[in-house]
Chains A and B, each alone.
Chain A
Amino acid sequence: MKTIKIAGGQGFYGDSPKAAIAIAKAKGADYIVHDALAELTLSILQKDKLQDAALGYARDVEFLATSLYPVAFANGIKIVSNSGGLNPEGAAKKVAAILAKQGIKGVKIAVVTGDDMLPKLKEIQDAGIALENLDSGKPFSENKYEVLQSNVYTGAKSIADALAMGANLVLAGRVADPCLTLGILVHEFGWKIGEGVSQQDLDKAAAGIAVGHLLECGGQASGGNSYAEWPMEYPLSNLAYPIAEVAEDGSAIFSILDGQGGKMSRNTIREQLIYEIHDPANYITPDVTVDLTQVKIEDIAPNRVSFKGVKGKPRPEKLKLTIGLMEGYMSEQFFFFSWPYAYEKSQRFIETTKEIWSKLPLNMERSEFQLIGLNGLHGNAAPLPPKEVMDELNEVGIRVVIKHSDNRTGKMALQSLFCLGLNGPPGLIGLPGWGKQDKVVLSLWPSLIPRNWVEEKVEIVEV
């Protein structure tokens, strides 16, 4: 049976390229998939694009174009990514220029667009589509914030089309993470996706999505971020990323390269399978609804895991549209107190902070005080240590964080606290700039739109 090897090369915009470069050098896969777009990433990219219209893509492609891509292309490996973000054309232009500068020729870069719904947002609403918020049920007409971006999660077809056009590198926009992998398999095996396909086709598509899901977070499937494997008896600094050898029937064998850190086991696959899944019987993607409840995961050899048993159900009628909104700002600052009375001093500091702020004209929506090392991560849910421990703490860190509607309140509120270095409880440590100021607060408006509003386009840029 024909098999195709696909490696997960990147788990997020900013992930290390080392594992992918090692796979490319070792010819360890036919394809490397790069998922660059977390839920928030598009809004972050929109801020880049507003400052410079040539940006708006995941900028690590610029580095990958000198490190990973040349090795991959030389070894006949194709790269499939959604690194194009909000500006796949711009990404392709930049990458093409960087490749050309290195004297690399004969590369076809596919630009996949059509997910950007911002230009059509008004037209969609005018057509009577309310874009109800999936969480609150409210129509989008009730939104009161400025719209930053609006992208629809698209499926595998454009990826398969791009590969059929001979692409060595795909730079897509908001193609749903696991659909990058499914697109490769649709192209290689001629799997059918879309309306009215057979149960067998649905099962294969679902298997492709499951494999894509297991690859899309890079090292999280191969022993990274793992309580199952803790205390991790393998090196972490050169953690191998997962490689799936997928057969035409949808079954797969997961492995990692020899000689690197990490681990491939039923446990590491299991903990990535459950990551960011809600109902395991209904994992919804643009191409197929996936039932993961019958999966069979087996250790078949050291660092080799067999994966099968995924079932498919018809794809959803509508596609998910996410609208990024500009909601305001947040600012933070870190302060520290040492033994003695570290905890008591932190409490007095917080009390005094509130008194200072109560006398200032601040447009503050809310504030939080988190004690680093005590309740900074879990708030009230984390019980404080017993009194004898609290009395002897070496140090206490305080994160002061506020949300505000204008871009002057943060500075004023934080600046007003530095006098406590001389006027406050003894030994306050905290220098301006320890923390972010005026970080933009975005909110995401999730909704659904009919498929006929989405027109995807694939274009090839040749180098």
Chain B
Amino acid sequence: MKKIKLIDIASARSGDKNNVCNIGVMARKPEYYAVLKEKLTVEKVKAHFGDLIKGKIERFEWEAIESLNFVCHEALDGGASRSLRMDTLGKNFASHLLRMEIEM
């Protein structure tokens, strides 16, 4: 087993819709998609974000683009117009997820 970071095998982009943040995670090579599906569970993502995401997380598999899409509810401190955070739009949720350690 060796430990890698998600950024080694995936890129990601996140954005907002009111108080929901979605994080798209794209495998850097098609063969990494299976790894993402196996390792990047909703439970792991939820634990990785802790307090930042208060609601449920949904995971959508998107095989055509070798990607997973995490839809995170109650994630943006009430939404961009109400948030006291600096990252009001959740643009750096992608960055934070890419830091996650994965055992290969």
| A104 sits at the interface (CB 8 A) | no
| A327 sits at the interface (CB 8 A) | yes
Q: Known: A39-B17, A296-B64, A444-B79. Contact between A278 and B50, CB under 8 A? A: no
Q: Is the CB of B86 within 8 A of A227?
A: no
Q: Is the CB of B94 within 8 A of A295?
A: no
| A50 sits at the interface (CB 8 A) | no
In the complex, the chain B residue whose C-beta lies closest to that of A324 is: B81
Q: Is the CB of A443 within 8 A of B81?
A: yes
Q: Is the CB of B16 within 8 A of A267?
A: no
| A228 sits at the interface (CB 8 A) | yes
> How many Å lie between the Cα of A381 and that of B50 in the bound state?
6
> How many Å lie between the Cα of A366 and that of B78 in the bound state?
13
Q: Known: A227-B13, A274-B62, A277-B69. Contact between A267 and B26, CB under 8 A? A: yes
A274's contact among B16, B17, B69, by CB below 8 Å, is which? B69
| Least distance between B29 CB and chain A CB atoms (Å) | 11
Q: Which of A185-193, A346-354, A372-380 contacts B (4 or more CB under 8 A)?
A: A372-380
Q: Is the CB of B50 within 8 A of A228?
A: no
Which residues of chain A from 7 to 56 have any CB-CB distance to chain B below 8 Å in the complex?
Answer: 39-40, 43
| Least distance between B26 CB and chain A CB atoms (Å) | 6
Residues of B with C-beta under 8 A to A272: 13
> How many Å lie between the Cα of A363 and that of B47 in the bound state?
34
Q: Is the CB of A401 within 8 A of B84?
A: yes
> How many Å lie between the Cα of A378 and that of B84 in the bound state?
12
Q: Known: A225-B13, A330-B84. Contact between A378 and B24, CB under 8 A? A: no
Residues of A with C-beta under 8 A to B28: 228
Which residues of chain B from 1 to 55 have any CB-CB distance to chain A below 8 Å in the complex?
Answer: 7, 11-13, 15-20, 22, 24, 26, 28, 48-52
| B56 sits at the interface (CB 8 A) | no
Which residues of chain A from 256 to 278 have any CB-CB distance to chain B below 8 Å in the complex?
Answer: 267, 270-278
Q: Count how many chain B residues have C-beta atoms less than 8 Å from C-beta atoms of the other chain.
A: 43
| A441 sits at the interface (CB 8 A) | yes
| A293 sits at the interface (CB 8 A) | yes
Report how many A-B pairs have Cβ atoms within 8 Å.
135
Q: Count how many chain A residues have C-beta atoms less than 8 Å from C-beta atoms of the other chain.
A: 54
Q: Is the CB of B92 within 8 A of A378?
A: yes
Q: Is the CB of A368 within 8 A of B87?
A: no
Q: Known: A309-B64, A377-B86. Contact between A275 and B13, CB under 8 A? A: yes
In the complex, the chain B residue whose C-beta lies closest to that of A220 is: B13
Q: Is the CB of A275 within 8 A of B19?
A: no
> How many Å lie between the Cα of A324 and that of B82 in the bound state?
11
> How many Å lie between the Cα of A230 and that of B65 in the bound state?
19
Residues of B with C-beta under 8 A to A406: none
Residues of A with C-beta under 8 A to B7: 227
Residues of A with C-beta under 8 A to B58: 278-279
In the complex, the chain B residue whose C-beta lies closest to that of A399 is: B86
| Least distance between A5 CB and chain B CB atoms (Å) | 24
Q: A: which residues have CB within 8 A of B? A: 39-40, 43, 135, 220, 225-228, 230, 267, 270-281, 292-297, 309, 324, 327, 330, 366-368, 370, 372, 376-382, 399, 401-403, 441-444, 446
- 19 contacting pairs across A/B (C-beta < 8 A): A39-B18, A39-B80, A225-B91, A227-B94, A270-B65, A274-B26, A274-B69, A275-B13, A275-B22, A279-B58, A279-B71, A297-B64, A377-B85, A377-B95, A378-B52, A403-B84, A441-B81, A442-B82, A443-B82
Other contacts beyond A40-B80, A278-B58, A380-B50: 6, CB < 8 A: A135-B18, A228-B26, A278-B20, A278-B60, A381-B51, A443-B82
